[in-house]
Structure 1
């Protein structure tokens, strides 16, 4: 469906205060540029626009007023126009965190799909509103010649068994769609593919991937080469569950929320703020959810920073054991995500005590390796570091949808959307 070698696939990953993006050449998915607009919604001229080329060279580095998502989207489109690339964009791939039960494949962003996602906002009020707004903005700004494809973080976990997916709640509640969905699926898909490239062992491998960042989760998967099937994961109905994260509490005794409602009179909005914005590492340290700053605080003798780091590492270690149990064993442990990729200190502390699973790493490798094994090559149990790349997974999905011109859950409207884009691209 994409017919010119110089056509671009634009990948957009939006958050409440930032938009990450990348451009890939459609013919071979070679990276053309990537960047981020950060500080959206901040004071005047405090937003940051950073764009780099395929070799990491800086193309744009400036401060700008990014009052809201709309302003950021307009600035990105303006940069594409000024750089001569706006007319090359033939498709946009959007990361969507929550697809609910209906959307488990990359899907054309029709008006009906947008309506369906709007009904899921109460399940993920942190990510979905910004993501839906971004899709609508780029649809308006780029015109009918561009197709928009939605790629869902929840899709990778559609293979989780019913026993892992089901909560211990009454049927009347479960019928509302309350179940474990799991997230970070685009990251897990990339890591499983990349691990298959690095590890040519064709046998079945029981693999636990630890995506550790400001948002953190683990996934238990069974891997055959570059193909993997999700078996269990730590996040649940929303991305707030599982591990302690930067600002999210992770799993709680449900009685805690009942207690807060009864004793402090907290309503749903106040409890959500405590759990999703004021909790986690930020809540424990009383300072920040940024692991780098916490490690600096620990070095300076700050006991609250030390406690926050200890809690984070303990939860990660505990959940690794739980994921290994879901797999009935473990062959590979992979660290990814901002913290998992970059912090040798955190990796070392998480690994402490996992020897009973046969997991050991070599400390010099832990400090030096940016991608690859940090355990011994001859060990049957392997530990890896693999930087994630959600953008390329989205670009690949967009390319597949456009080449096929259809997908399993497409509607007549989605077919018309692709055809209209082709007709208007000439």
Structure 2
């Protein structure tokens, strides 16, 4: 069998994460991250077969320049000849897509139309697609949607209690996000714990700068915490999560905020950053918490309390629980937050094992509860790139 590689691209508003992955083994040959795009201190760091390198980008470098640099690296390491597809993470696909899609003009139109629902994400995703199409016009380009996994949610879970015409005419509903991550870690948990593929109940918590919780029954998403946009749900790095909708009127009519200012505040100035007034980086907040910083402590307390409430709520649709799974940068590395969340859930019989909890960090998976715990809790490092690679390779072979 010939060697087949997939280029995986994940464009954020000011970043570009990438990897060239062997579609058979999952090995990453080239991987990296371009950060602070559009700023004077833009950089691109990468690894080729494990060796770390760093390339400085020109001041103000944008996504196209970053992708041009990536293309140069791909040719420099003679990887282009084995590429069969480019897989793109796309945050919002609306109701139109229940799975990954080969990118056509019609698919691009839908991604463009849904950009208003994910204004921080979809425009950047489109930029990455267009730049990759220009660089690799001969390759199949595949969109892998964060929302697709959640299209199995029942209507009573995804509809808002608003006039039904808003759903029928404008698609106003809860969509959910981080679907690729929730899907990956749930399948890994089922395999690791020896659960039946057609008979299991999991709650997965993807915790990073963006955070979401998902209730999964027999491999399908039945509820999730994010909504029409990635703003709804639990507290996040800079996003508020759930708030009283009446806050909009109060801020605009009583305090003189514009709609744009309210939107910026809720998306970029709230969450852990807003409460702590220190940082959105959980590591910084935890360091301050250990030193007794009052607002850092409050930020962690609110974050963990709201997260535990959301997890407990998903016992309703699942009617039981086989395992709770933590993933994402915070979920995989913060033993402090995991311990605080499980302390809130001790009434359900959750018993954390401190040594296991400390051991399951920095890329290591494992169960973090004791043998006598009534609810098994584990850490599974996510691997969205591998999921995107698999979907892109499958569709490329069938294209």
What is the TM-score of this pair, normalised by structure 1? 0.89
Q: What does residue 420 of structure 1 align with? A: none
Considering only aligned residues, what root-mean-square deviation do their CA atoms show, in Å?
Answer: 1.6
Q: What does residue 33 of structure 2 align with? A: 36
Deviation at 1:252, TM superposition (A): 0.8
Q: Distance in 1 between matches of 2:231 and 2:8?
A: 25
Match of 2:173 among 160, 172, 179: 179
Equivalent position SS for 2:115: coil
Q: What does residue 156 of structure 2 align with? A: 163
1:21-420 aligned within 5 A: 21-43=18-40, 46-54=41-49, 57-65=50-58, 67-143=61-137, 145-175=138-168, 176-202=170-196, 204-223=199-218, 228-369=219-360, 370-377=364-371, 379-405=373-399
Deviation at 1:71, TM superposition (A): 1.4
Which structure 1 residue ranges, 4+ long, deviate > 6 Å from structure 2? none
- Mark the CA change 1:377 to 1:298 in structure 2 (over 3 Å): closer, same or farther: closer
Match of 1:8 among 5, 9, 12: 5
1:266-295 CA deviation, whole Å, 9 max, x = no partner? 333211101101111111112211100011
Equivalent position SS for 1:387: coil
Deviates further, 366-375 or 94-103: 366-375
- Note if contact 2:178-2:212 (Cα within 8 Å) is conserved in structure 1: yes
- Note if contact 1:190-1:393 (Cα within 8 Å) is conserved in structure 2: yes
Answering whether residue 17 of structure 2 is matched by residue 20 of structure 1, we say yes
- Note if contact 1:218-1:233 (Cα within 8 Å) is conserved in structure 2: yes
Q: What does residue 411 of structure 1 align with? A: none
1:381-420 CA deviation, whole Å, 9 max, x = no partner? 2110100000000011112212333xxxxxxxxxxxxxxx
Deviation at 1:83, TM superposition (A): 1.7
What is the TM-score of this pair, normalised by structure 2? 0.94
- Note if contact 1:360-1:383 (Cα within 8 Å) is conserved in structure 2: no
Unaligned runs of 5+ in 1: 406-426
Q: Distance in 1 between matches of 2:177 and 2:144?
A: 12
Q: Distance in 1 between matches of 2:374 and 2:294?
A: 38
Deviation at 1:214, TM superposition (A): 0.6
- Note if contact 1:330-1:357 (Cα within 8 Å) is conserved in structure 2: no
- Note if contact 2:356-2:366 (Cα within 8 Å) is conserved in structure 1: no
Equivalent position SS for 2:238: coil
Unaligned runs of 5+ in 2: none
- Note if contact 1:331-1:380 (Cα within 8 Å) is conserved in structure 2: no
